[in-house]
Amino acid sequence: MKKLFLLITLGITLTSFGQNQEGVITYAVTVKIMLPPGQAPANMPPPPVFKNQLLFTGQESLYKTLEEDNEEEEENNGGMRIKINRPLVEIYTNQKSHQKITQREFLGKQYLISDTLKNIPWQLSDQTKQIQGITCKKATYYNAERKRNLTAWYAENIYLSSGPDGYSGLPGLILELDSNNGEMLATATKIELRKLTKDELVKAPVKGKPITENEFRKMQDDRMREMEQQGGNVRIFRN
């Protein structure tokens, strides 16, 4: 009877621990520079690699860009200068309240987008692969509105349904997210399952002008068309 009691107690303890995971995931984010046919030089520089972080605790997460590598500029041998500016982004999600709040920077101004978590119809697969020593399963989704093929690799043993760029809806944390076959690739390079420090706060951003997602995208599109008319080749990557 004592042995049975101990086993039941141990099982409850392990389950409780699994449901209260927290930690920090660091992602390497690669964005390919896509130029129109005939405009890409033979000696095109390799795509830059940036770092993002996901902080999570309980049913909340905060995905954000790291300021240390916010801007990068390269020039190839042909004299072509490529300047990549990564606006700071914070994406807060709460699985319990189905809340999603995004703070985005555009042209030096901050904007705040409040939304609810979407029910993404992921197609689950039994295919697996290892990411940083953790077995991950594959899931795919085609976003017809934005014309994006997404492939996610998620870890079932990290129970939180979250991941890069606010994507969720899978039975585990997304450790790799591929958009359009490598056009944008976010891969976990460091996984820390630990208590968060007092400086690692998971809370919703509050700064910025309130705006809807559609209004923000229209503003980006209008600005991109304006710059193209002035002779610039501008591209804004969006998931």
Q: What does the pLDDT look like over 159-205, one tens digit per residue?
A: 999 999 999 999 999 999 999 998 999 999 999 999 999 999 999 99
**More reliable by pLDDT, 129 or 223:** 129
- Provide the residue ranges of all domains of the chain, joining segments of one domain with +: 23-229
Can you give the pLDDT at residue 5?
39
pLDDT per residue as tens digits for the range 57-83: 999 999 999 876 555 545 554 555 555
Average predicted confidence (pLDDT) for the chain: 83
Assigned token pair, 141? 């989704």
Full-model pTM: 0.81
The architecture of the domain spanning 23-229 is: Clam (2.50)
Query: Which string of DSSP letters, residue by residue, matches 42-60?
Result: TTPPPPPEEEEEEEEETTE
Long-range contacts of 178-184 (CB under 8 A, 24+ apart): 178/150, 178/151, 178/152, 179/148, 179/149, 179/150, 179/239, 180/148, 180/149, 181/149, 182/30, 182/32, 183/31, 183/32, 183/34, 183/237, 184/29, 184/30, 184/31, 184/32, 184/237, 184/239
